[in-house]
């Protein structure tokens, strides 16, 4: 009782290969529907690939997503377009045509063997730093591996890297090539474009970007990752010393009429996860989370928050008014957070070695929307509504279900 081959009918386009898009693509392919999966980046897995651990299990996020990505890559019904964006979704005589633009990457990740010879060659040529490993020190996915990245602005096009590469994987000449355009008739579109972290520098009272020990949540995740630059040890970016205190400020630029009025939904649990991780590594450090409402409503989340409190993470209901450098001691190396403790109703200024700013995640826009109304209701994951991994994968499956039902209604018959 195998699924019939639907490869002759039009494929369904899935835009975005984060966990929601991967799940939607895999579920559709599982039902025997052919899928074209478009990913803007060169790697699969989206933002989750930047997470060292996933709450509430605290297990590594990389392996399950990597496995999903590997299964997706080898699935005969899934065609993957990496480094590709959906430009236009047009309706031509009742048919939906997707116009895809693929930027050929300077490094062919299928050919690259990650030997690093290009990195050495580039340094020898005196153009330091034009090639760097990415994403920041974290393991990557089956599509890319730790493939070097050629920065088009810094690269001098000298070609030394091309000469050094044993497999012919790297070619700076490709940086200046125009994107390759493909017209693809599709039966349906699922959007799973995910989110981006807003720059907290827009919130003037929090000094973001002005001090090395002020992190965004995603930066801090990479900084303390076990596979990251410090192998899971926690240190200050300023001087490499062990921090005595770390403060997490929630709702930075979110639930805030000046910026984003909504709640990004994942940040409370994200901060709790990082706070517990810090506490486990540095039991003596004082760790505080400044929250507006502690939203731990998912399965097992309240227990997770209670565990954090038991382990000594200080949960303070407060929205700090100011983060500033303390003037004394070593040229203002220490940060201070000025806040009202809503339990004691006192104004407090507390010193912190590290401050993590959390919040302000914005949905990525749904591309190619002009001139077509196809599939706008079929978004899943964070781009539809703020969602964590567990919610995103459910939404991905749901989007696959709805698309498969529409297809079944059109063609008559199930999988």
68 binds other proteins (CB under 8 A): yes
162 binds other proteins (CB under 8 A): no
27 binds other proteins (CB under 8 A): yes
Bridge partners (DSSP) listed for residue 291: 317
Between 3 and 154, name the residue whose CB sits nearer to other proteins. 3
Which residue from 324, 292, 319, 291 is spatially nearest to 204, judged by alpha carbons? 324
66 binds other proteins (CB under 8 A): yes
- How far is Cα 78 from Cα 177, in angstroms, rounded to an integer? 27
Between 70 and 97, name the residue whose CB sits nearer to other proteins. 70
Contact region with other proteins (CB under 8 A), list: 10-18, 148-156, 231-239, 299-307: 299-307
Residue of the chain from 76, 94, 240, 345 that contacts other proteins (CB under 8 A): 345
- How far is Cα 354 from Cα 237, in angstroms, rounded to an integer? 9
The site for other proteins, by CB under 8 A, has a size of 73
Token pair listed for 276: 């517990």
409 binds other proteins (CB under 8 A): yes
Extended beta strands in 171-281, E state: 180-186, 188-191, 195-197, 214-216, 245-249
Name residues contacting other proteins, limited to 364-403 (CB under 8 A).
Answer: 385-390, 393-398, 400-402
Taking the complex as a whole, the smallest distance from the CB of residue 334 to other proteins amounts, in Å, to 29
Name residues contacting other proteins, limited to 323-342 (CB under 8 A).
Answer: 342
Name residues contacting other proteins, limited to 75-104 (CB under 8 A).
Answer: none
CB 52 within 8 A of CB 228: yes
CB 43 within 8 A of CB 22: no
- In a 13 Å sphere around the CA of 61, the CA atoms on its Cβ side amount to 23
Residue of the chain from 60, 90, 97, 114 that contacts other proteins (CB under 8 A): 114
Bridge partners (DSSP) listed for residue 150: 131
Token pair listed for 402: 């709805």
Look at the chain and count its residues.
415
Which residue from 124, 125, 122 is spatially nearest to 133, judged by alpha carbons? 122
Taking the complex as a whole, the smallest distance from the CB of residue 55 to other proteins amounts, in Å, to 8
- H-run or E-run covering 324: strand 322-325
295 binds other proteins (CB under 8 A): yes
Residue of the chain from 209, 297, 311, 373 that contacts other proteins (CB under 8 A): 297
352 binds other proteins (CB under 8 A): no
Taking the complex as a whole, the smallest distance from the CB of residue 101 to other proteins amounts, in Å, to 27
20 binds other proteins (CB under 8 A): no
Residue of the chain from 9, 32, 120, 135 that contacts other proteins (CB under 8 A): 32
Residue of the chain from 162, 174, 237, 317 that contacts other proteins (CB under 8 A): 317
Residue of the chain from 5, 7, 113, 205 that contacts other proteins (CB under 8 A): 113
Peptide bond into 135 cis (omega under 30): yes
207's CB contacts (< 8 A; 6+ apart) are: 214, 323, 324, 325, 335
Name residues contacting other proteins, limited to 210-239 (CB under 8 A).
Answer: none
**3-class SS of residue 147:** coil
Question: At which residue do the structure tokens 């300023």 appear?
Answer: 238
Taking the complex as a whole, the smallest distance from the CB of residue 325 to other proteins amounts, in Å, to 30
- How far is Cα 337 from Cα 351, in angstroms, rounded to an integer? 6
Residue of the chain from 57, 239, 242, 349 that contacts other proteins (CB under 8 A): 57
CB 286 within 8 A of CB 245: yes
Which residue from 51, 45, 44 is spatially nearest to 267, judged by alpha carbons? 51
Name residues contacting other proteins, limited to 261-280 (CB under 8 A).
Answer: 261-263, 265
137 binds other proteins (CB under 8 A): no
Between 106 and 263, name the residue whose CB sits nearer to other proteins. 263
Taking the complex as a whole, the smallest distance from the CB of residue 363 to other proteins amounts, in Å, to 8
Between 261 and 370, name the residue whose CB sits nearer to other proteins. 261
64 binds other proteins (CB under 8 A): yes
139 binds other proteins (CB under 8 A): yes
Token pair listed for 357: 């700013």
């Amino acid at each position: 009782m195998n699924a019939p081959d639907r490869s002759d009918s039009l494929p369904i386009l899935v835009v975005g290969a984060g966990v929601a898009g991967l799940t939607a693509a895999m579920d559709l392919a599982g039902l025997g529907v052919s899928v074209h999966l478009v990913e803007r980046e060169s790697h699969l897995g989206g933002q989750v690939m930047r997470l060292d651990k996933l709450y509430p299990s605290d297990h590594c996020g990389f392996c399950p997503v990597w496995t999903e990505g590997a299964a997706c890559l080898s699935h005969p019904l899934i065609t993957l377009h990496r480094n590709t964006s959906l430009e236009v979704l047009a309706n031509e005589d009742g048919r939906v045509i997707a116009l895809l633009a693929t930027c050929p990457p300077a490094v062919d990740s299928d050919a690259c063997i990650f030997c690093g010879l290009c990195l050495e060659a580039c340094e020898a040529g005196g153009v330091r730093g034009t090639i760097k490993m990415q994403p920041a020190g974290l393991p990557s996915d089956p599509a890319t591996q730790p493939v070097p990245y050629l920065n088009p602005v810094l690269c001098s096009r000298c070609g030394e890297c091309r000469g050094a590469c044993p497999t012919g994987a790297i070619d700076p000449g490709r940086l200046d090539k125009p994107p390759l355009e493909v017209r693809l008739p599709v039966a349906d579109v699922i959007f799973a474009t995910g989110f981006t972290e807003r720059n907290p520098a827009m919130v003037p009272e929090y000094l973001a970007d002005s001090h090395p020990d002020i992190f965004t949540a995603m930066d801090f995740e990479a900084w303390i990752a076990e596979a990251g630059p410090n192998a899971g040890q926690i240190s200050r970016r300023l001087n490499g010393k062990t921090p005595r205190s770390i403060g997490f400020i929630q709702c930075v630029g979110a639930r805030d009429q000046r910026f984003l009025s909504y709640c990004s939904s994942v940040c409370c649990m994200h901060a709790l996860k990082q706070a517990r991780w810090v506490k486990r590594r540095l039991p003596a450090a004082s760790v505080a989370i400044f929250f507006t409402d502690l939203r731990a409503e998912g399965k097992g989340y309240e227990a997770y928050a209670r565990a954090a409190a038991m382990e000594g993470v200080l949960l303070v209901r407060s929205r700090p008014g100011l983060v500033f450098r303390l003037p004394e001691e070593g040229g203002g190396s220490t940060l201070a957070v000025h806040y009202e403790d809503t339990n004691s109703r006192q104004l407090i200024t507390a010193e912190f070695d590290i401050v993590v700013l959390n919040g302000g995640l914005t949905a990525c826009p749904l591309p190619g929307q002009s001139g077509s109304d196809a599939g706008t209701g079929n978004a899943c994951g964070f781009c539809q509504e703020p969602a964590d991994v567990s919610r995103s994968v459910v939404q991905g499956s749901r989007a696959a279900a709805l698309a498969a039902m529409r297809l079944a209604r059109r063609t008559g018959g199930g999988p």
